[in-house]
Amino acid sequence: MLDIFRKIYLNSFLYNKKIFKISSKNLKYKPSAHLLSSIVNIQTKKFNINEFSLETVWIDKKLNEKQINKLNNFFWLFSLDLKSSNINVQKIIKNWTEINYKYNSKTWNFKTTSKRIISWLSNSRLSYDDSNEQYKIDFNYIIQKQAFHLLNQINTIKDDHDKLIGISAIILVGLAYNDEKNLIIKGLDHLKKNIKSSLDAFGFPKSRNINSAIFFLKHLILIREWFKESQTEMPDFIDENIFYLGQSYAFFWKNLNFDPLFNGNNISNNHEFDLYLKRLGYSFKNENYEFSNYVSLRNKKVNLIMDIGPSPNKKFSNKYQAGALSFEFVSNGKKILTNSGYFNKNINKLNDLSKSSAVHNVLVIDDNSSCKFKKSSNLESEIKDGLKITNKKIINEKNYWKINATHDGYLKKYKLFYERQIEFYPESNKLIGNEKLVGKKMLPNLKFDLRFHLDPSSKTMKTQDNKSIFIEFKDEGWKFTCENYEIDIDNGFYFGKRNTYTENQNIFISGITNTQNNYIKWELIKI
């Protein structure tokens, strides 16, 4: 019912009057377009604005929601070629303004509006320069009107990423116009609140999402560069949080140079962002081997990274995956063992699958994940029953690595703890794992599975005795063996690339619990 009244209000004359607060007639600061290159996917194939049909561009009824958002956020301005006419760009903006001068649920949604403001101001060479006086008045009016709309709606936005984009737009408008310093103040206040609610004391997302840390870093750097370029005094907390987020970036990307597939992360390839940071003079380092409950043990050739953290609060669990104690193993830049990645579309069975323990390199009891999920009111998945981590022990020596940890994800239902110990001997390139189910009273006849997922580019071959599996890459081979269980090769799904999937293979070990022996010992050695 509240949503219905809210929609009526947003479309009313009263709301339109409320956000009509234009006070600045002159655009003071025009941000450089290149500052957006860290967050805008600029298409390699450029197109000419002169080829647009002004008569039909805004009234195409065949467009779906995603296409409508892409069209109306104007981020496509960054993909125009140099032959494009700013006169035609301004005609299109004028045409958009005439059609959308009032709130419209399709074209004024929070995220789309935020991006549109940023795009218009960052492309002022096309959108504003060499225009007549009336156009400039109308442009300034609609920019500020949209900014006040964002400010009015920001407390209704639950997604911290969408909120951050909106905050960025509000602050930019405040910087761009002389008389809108109040927007800077309010924008910074919301920024401080968003950081406090979304990041922990070490500057890492409470969701435990690696990609989210990079998202925050990109936008805070962008805001900082706007302040710097506009010669406006900036509060210290922005630099402080950039420092902490930079620690995250160094740990999960600079140190690894690959994307660890944990808790909502996908392959993102941050090489371009590295160049962006270098151009702007940013440099981040993190020499720690443990950070925010992730462990990364590494030398020049090999990297072992493992999730030893508890599940997040349900408020931050939308993209959390039940992969506690899972790990990835990389040799010479090749993922020998990988988690399967995350399928981002919520209303999809593949999303549920990608959140399960079964698509991680971890033990599973009775086909149940270590965390239970439920659908929230907005159909997003959130944690119902979480888990805690105990018995953490890490050894990081030149010739010996060890990670030991236990989680209680199966305690409530099965009265069992899952304990994992992984050792690595760098000189012999040998990885050894010990998996245990521990409980005061062992429940017999429970099925358990242990999977080790392989990169889709790898090839496998099983020995006739079902005790060994060879993993082959183009110029490297590894042998996987299990001491006390037969092993097999199974097919699965790989979601490494965002919202896509392909088939991959996994090494599969299965057994039944008993009162005598509930451990699995395995070994992975380079051949």
Q: Give the pLDDT of residue 216.
A: 97
Sheet holding 502-512, edge to edge: 363-365, 447-453, 502-512, 487-494
pLDDT band at 1 (very low <50, low <70, confident <90, very high): low
> What DSSP designation does 170 have?
H
For residue 472, give both structure tokens: 């082959």
344 contact partners, CB below 8 Å, separation of at least 6: 264, 266, 319, 351, 498, 499
159 contact partners, CB below 8 Å, separation of at least 6: none
Range list for CATH 2.70.98.70 in the chain = 293-526
The span from the CA of 375 to the CA of 39, in Å, is 30
pLDDT tens-place string over residues 372-430? 998 776 657 788 889 999 999 999 999 999 999 999 999 999 999 999 999 999 999 99
pLDDT tens-place string over residues 95-133? 899 989 888 888 999 999 999 999 999 999 889 998 999
> In 3D, which of 151, 161, 158 has the Cα closest to residue 220?
161
List the Cα angle 150/154/156 in 5-degree steps. 130
Mean pLDDT, all residues of the chain: 90
Grouping H, G, I as helix, E, B as strand and the rest as coil, residue 128 is coil
Q: Give the pLDDT of residue 191.
A: 98
pLDDT tens-place string over residues 47-100? 667 666 656 667 766 778 888 888 899 998 888 876 667 888 898 899 899 989
Residue 54 vs residue 18, higher pLDDT: 18
> What DSSP designation does 54 have?
T
- Is the CATH number 2.70.98.70 carried by domain 293-526? yes
Q: Is the pLDDT of residue 509 over 80?
A: yes
> In 3D, which of 303, 245, 346, 333 has the Cα closest to residue 38?
245
pLDDT tens-place string over residues 306-321? 999 999 998 899 899 9
The span from the CA of 42 to the CA of 26, in Å, is 29
pLDDT tens-place string over residues 435-481? 999 988 777 789 999 999 999 999 999 888 888 999 998 889 999 99
pLDDT band at 305 (very low <50, low <70, confident <90, very high): very high
